Structure 1
Amino acid sequence: MTDATPRPGAPAPDPDLLYSEDEEALRAAVRSLLTDRGAPATVLAGLESGAPHDAGLWRALATDIGTAGLLVPEKLGGHGASAREAAVVLEELGRSVAPVPYLTSAVIAVTALLGCGGGAEVTGPLAALAAGDTVGVLALPLPTAPGTPPDLAVRVAADGTLTGRVTSVADAASADLLLVPAEGPDGPALYAVEATAQGVRTDTVTPLDLTRPLGHLTFDGARGRLLATGDRARAAVDRALLTGAGLFASEQLGVAEWCLAETVRHTAGRTQFGRPVGSFQALKHRMAALWLEVASARAAARYAADALASDSPDAPVAVAVAQAYCGPVAVRAAEECVQLHGGLGMTWEHPAHLFLKRAKSDELALGTPGRHRNALGALVGIDAP
């Protein structure tokens, strides 16, 4: 076996964007579970239950398959995998718009905790998140983008209590543990607060995308455990947002892939004037153009995941490219899916509207495409027009 480590001064190896055997095996396991228990029709049927997420599906995904601990090191109870494996899970979740808190808990919250050091106040929550016993949420508005320090709405008093209100927090109602960025006496800090602690209130709101609930968090003298302060706290939060945004592109890719596949299936089976409507040249051109966009989105999402997995210095650029491109592709694919299904696509009974709502809400989450294009310009030294 040859040593794959590059020699000092040698150029870094090109990223391998192909899926490995292990990644394909993980995909097969997740897809099998989602086909059985989280298909779009099943998701649609459960939307009116009032539950913040599908607890049974989350337990099977997080604990039985073990996806909740993919990014957690083995010594802390996880699997020691990388962002590439987490991206595969998110692709499949995008293909089913499953109502589970994987992105918020197993990706963003886990990454924030990993950036806080190795004390007991960090390793304990990490082990609980990795086991799937706890759902963690970073208490920031869902539209918060990486790259710039977020406005901190929570303040820490002299006695260590937290006060403030954070709006539009994804999966807030599902959370057991809140990771709260706050402005303390000595600058920014990150606290762990139990969602059921005294002085914490969660108000649910009705979002566009019912499969990813939002909530407003109010802290009124709540007490938490200090995880990190100063530059370490700021870096932990920014890394969590960067990782979340980069892997979020894989979810958007999954949304676009389902929409394209479902549109091709529908137009191949529906006939008009004695021919499948998908055989008409105008529709073939539209679906071919969409296929090219989805293929390009796959390359962008995979590169972002690989850059995060290898801790590449190009990760911020890769994430900005992926988010600037994949969000609009997912929206376009969902719009085409609804339109090319005709009247059927406009009904509540068909799941196409779930994917359109997910795509539209995803386009605003963790930074808009325009925000990421501006960030990309700054990263590569090109001024915005």
Structure 2
Amino acid sequence: MFGTFTEDQEQLRGVVRNFLADKSPESEVRRLMETEEGYDPAVWTQMGREAGLQGIAIPEQYGGQGAGWTELGIVLEEAGRALLCAPYFATVVLAATTLLESGDEEAKQQYLPAIADGSLIATVALTEEGGRWDAEGVTLPATPTPDGWMLTGAKHFVLDGTTAKLIIVPAVTASGISLFAVDADAAGVTRRPSITLDRTRKLAVVEFDATPARLLGTEGGGWRVLQRVLDFAAVGLAAEQAGGAQAALDQSTEYLKTRVQFGQPIGAFQALKHMAADVLVEVESARSAAYYALEAASQDNDELPAAASLAKAYCSEAFVTAAHQNIQFHGGMGFTWEVAAHLFYKRARSSEVFLGDAFAHREALAQRIGV
């Protein structure tokens, strides 16, 4: 039954929450967001080799923990609560899932153990200048060579594109969209960090100039793989958004209880009670949508595509609502740099459009359920 967790899963949540409370407090988030790398390499290594977080959903045969999407969703939810600054989503959710779905056994054997132990950072470079998350948005060409393949073109909005050592690139061949593995240090690769609203997520423009690439899976089979990857990723992002929304609500309620006006906490005023109750309903509903989608992802059943779009659409708007109201509850000081409210609002806005906005996912949901 979705929304209920085993004792082991609750223990996992407690371990991850305690780990992130120690390694990702607000002070550390603020420090890392100002760095070019955007993460702490020592903590990243500890996450992989000691906590096993990178390999949690990677099968044991590839060096992982062999758990599933429910456990990964728990980690992502807690990461969202803590605004974790690390290439976790790019590496674990996007790249590892793409490798697993690619059907390329050699690539899985080569890359997944390194992802699981934290020694490899990876990402997927899907979007181009138009920022589209559909097949029509993929136009970068791949050219066959005597030694393999060659890529020339650019990808935009690449998550953790400046730190990843493995870049998985969808490109167009004579057979259609195909997937390619590119070593970030290969000839012709240029990476430039992008200036973004949310400094806790590092995006980049990655350019390829006659760059050698290795085909992943079958030529022309890339979009079939990416459709599944994007559904799984939408589920993972929804879980992260639900965690962020809960953190914003927690900040709001704490301030409502401690800020005194006219001799009483401002949370005692009826208008603010109503506003807080509305946010609570949104956050609880978002969590339910995320858990429902995680259940579908764990079982990999026919409900996954619709559940993924439903969860991404709802959780995107719920996170924005919770983060916006958090600023409003704090009043004038809510807009200041010193208060953490703006960090969650910026993360909410960046997550809202990442992997497609709520409107796009409602459209997808309508098509998937035949409306």
Give me the TM-score of the superposition, normalised by structure 1.
0.92
- For 1:77, give the aligned amino acid: G
Among residues 135, 147, 150, which one is paired with 1:161 in the alignment? 150
2-side partners of 1:286 and 1:19: how far apart? 30
Moved more, 255-264 or 150-159: 150-159
| Aligned-pair CA distance for 1:231 | 5.2
| Aligned-pair CA distance for 1:34 | 1.1
2-side partners of 1:333 and 1:378: how far apart? 29
- For 1:226, give the aligned amino acid: L
Moved more, 52-61 or 87-96: 52-61
Among residues 286, 300, 303, which one is paired with 1:314 in the alignment? 303
- Give matches, 1:119-268, under 5 Å: 119-141=105-127, 144-145=132-133, 148-159=134-145, 160-230=149-219, 232-268=221-257
Q: Are residue 360 (structure 1) and residue 346 (structure 2) matched?
A: no
1-side partners of 2:104 and 2:179: how far apart? 14
Residue 18 of structure 2 corresponds to which residue in structure 1? 32
Q: Are residue 286 (structure 1) and residue 286 (structure 2) matched?
A: no
Residue 89 of structure 1 corresponds to which residue in structure 2? 75
Q: Against the structure 1 CA distance between its residues 129 and 47, is the aligned structure 2 distance closer, same or farther, given a 3 Å change threshold? A: same
- Deviation string 1:330-368 (CA, Å, 9 cap, x unpaired) is 001001111111222111122111100000010001011
Q: Against the structure 1 CA distance between its residues 301 and 127, is the aligned structure 2 distance closer, same or farther, given a 3 Å change threshold? A: same
Residue 52 of structure 1 corresponds to which residue in structure 2? 38
Aligned 8 A contact 1:141 1:166 in 2: yes
- Deviation string 1:102-155 (CA, Å, 9 cap, x unpaired) is 11111111110011224323321111111111011011129654xx42522321
- For 1:20, give the aligned amino acid: T
2-side partners of 1:98 and 1:138: how far apart? 19
| Aligned-pair CA distance for 1:57 | 2.6
Aligned 8 A contact 2:289 2:310 in 1: yes
1-side partners of 2:167 and 2:333: how far apart? 41
2-side partners of 1:250 and 1:150: how far apart? 27
- Which residues of structure 1 form unaligned runs of 5+? 1-14
How many percent identity over aligned positions?
37
Residue 336 of structure 1 corresponds to which residue in structure 2? 325
| Aligned-pair CA distance for 1:55 | 2.1
- For 1:275, give the aligned amino acid: Q
| Matched residue SS, 2:168 | strand
Aligned 8 A contact 2:55 2:116 in 1: yes
2-side partners of 1:364 and 1:347: how far apart? 24
Cα RMSD, aligned residues only: 1.5
| Matched residue SS, 1:157 | strand
| Aligned-pair CA distance for 1:36 | 0.9
- For 2:61, give the aligned amino acid: K
How many aligned residue pairs are there? 366
1-side partners of 2:349 and 2:164: how far apart? 24
Among residues 64, 84, 100, which one is paired with 1:114 in the alignment? 100
| Aligned-pair CA distance for 1:31 | 0.9
Give me the TM-score of the superposition, normalised by structure 2.
0.95
